[in-house]
C-alpha cells in the first residue's frame, strides 16, 4: 500500500513536467540588465567626455530610466573622476617634460581660478527683507471704517472721530 502511494506521487510529479520546477518561472517584460565593470567604466568615460544622459542611454542601448537606475553613481561622480584622472595624467606628462601638457595644465588652472572668481562675484548676498506686518481681516475692516467717507460727498458724516452736529461734547 505504501508503494502504491509512492508511485502515485512520482507519477503526478512527472505529469506536471517543467512547470513543477521551483524558481524557474518566466517573468513578464524584458530581462533585467546585467551590469558589468566595463559598462560602469564606459558610462564614466562617456559622461566625463561631456555626453548627455540621453546620448549615453542610446549608446548603451537602454532607456534613460534604466541608465539612471543602474548607473546613477557613475553619472553623478563619473565626470569629476575622469577629469581628475586627465588632470593627473596631464600633470605627470608636464613634469616629465611635455611642454604642451604644461601649457594645457596651466591654462586649465588659470581658467578654474577665473571661474571661481566670477562665481564668487556673481552671487551677492541677498538683502535682508523687512518683516511684513500682518494685518488681519478685523484690523483691515477697522482701518477702512476710519476712512470710509474721505474724498466723497459724505465728507465727515461717516468720520467716527469728527464732532457730530447738534451733539455737545462732554
Domain ranges for the chain:
34-118
Q: Are 131 and 121 within 8 A, CB to CB?
A: no
The overall pTM is greater than 0.75: no
Q: Which of 169, 148, 170 is nearest to 160 (CA)?
A: 148
Q: Are 79 and 56 within 8 A, CB to CB?
A: no
Pairwise CA distance, residues 109 & 87, whole Å: 10
Q: Are 40 and 71 within 8 A, CB to CB?
A: yes
* Segment 12-58, tens digit of pLDDT: 555 555 554 556 667 787 778 889 999 999 999 999 988 999 999 99
* Segment 110-162, tens digit of pLDDT: 888 888 787 776 666 777 777 777 888 998 888 888 777 777 887 767 776 77
pLDDT over 70, % of the chain: 76
- Sequence-distant (6+) residues with CB within 8 A of 66 are 33, 57
What is the separation of C-alpha 65 from the centre of its chain, rounded to a whole number of angstroms? 14
The pLDDT of residue 53 is: 93
Pairwise CA distance, residues 42 & 82, whole Å: 11
Q: Are 74 and 43 within 8 A, CB to CB?
A: yes
Pairwise CA distance, residues 108 & 94, whole Å: 13
The pLDDT of residue 169 is: 66
**Across 35-39, 62-66, 92-96, 159-163, least confident range:** 159-163
Say whether pLDDT at 85 is over 90: yes
Q: Is 1 helix (H, G, I), strand (E, B) or coil?
A: coil
User: Higher confidence at residue 54 or residue 11?
Assistant: 54
User: Higher confidence at residue 125 or residue 90?
Assistant: 90
- For 41, the grid coordinates are 567604466
Amino acid at each position: 500500500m505504501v508503494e502504491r502511494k509512492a508511485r502515485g506521487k512520482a507519477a503526478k510529479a512527472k505529469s506536471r513536467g517543467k512547470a513543477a520546477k521551483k524558481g524557474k518561472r518566466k517573468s513578464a517584460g524584458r530581462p533585467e540588465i546585467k551590469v558589468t565593470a566595463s559598462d560602469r567604466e564606459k558610462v564614466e568615460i562617456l559622461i566625463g567626455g561631456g555626453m548627455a544622459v540621453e546620448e549615453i542611454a542610446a549608446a548603451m542601448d537602454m532607456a534613460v530610466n534604466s541608465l539612471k537606475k543602474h548607473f546613477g553613481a557613475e553619472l553623478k561622480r563619473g565626470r569629476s573622476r575622469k577629469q581628475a584622472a586627465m588632470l593627473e595624467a596631464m600633470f605627470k606628462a608636464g613634469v616629465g617634460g611635455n611642454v604642451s601638457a604644461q601649457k594645457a595644465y596651466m591654462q586649465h588652472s588659470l581658467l578654474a581660478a577665473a571661474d571661481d572668481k566670477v562665481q564668487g562675484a556673481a552671487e551677492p548676498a541677498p538683502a535682508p527683507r523687512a518683516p511684513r506686518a500682518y494685518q488681519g481681516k478685523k484690523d483691515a475692516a477697522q482701518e477702512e471704517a476710519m476712512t470710509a467717507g474721505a474724498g466723497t460727498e459724505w465728507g465727515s458724516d461717516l468720520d467716527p472721530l469728527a464732532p457730530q452736529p447738534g451733539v455737545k461734547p462732554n
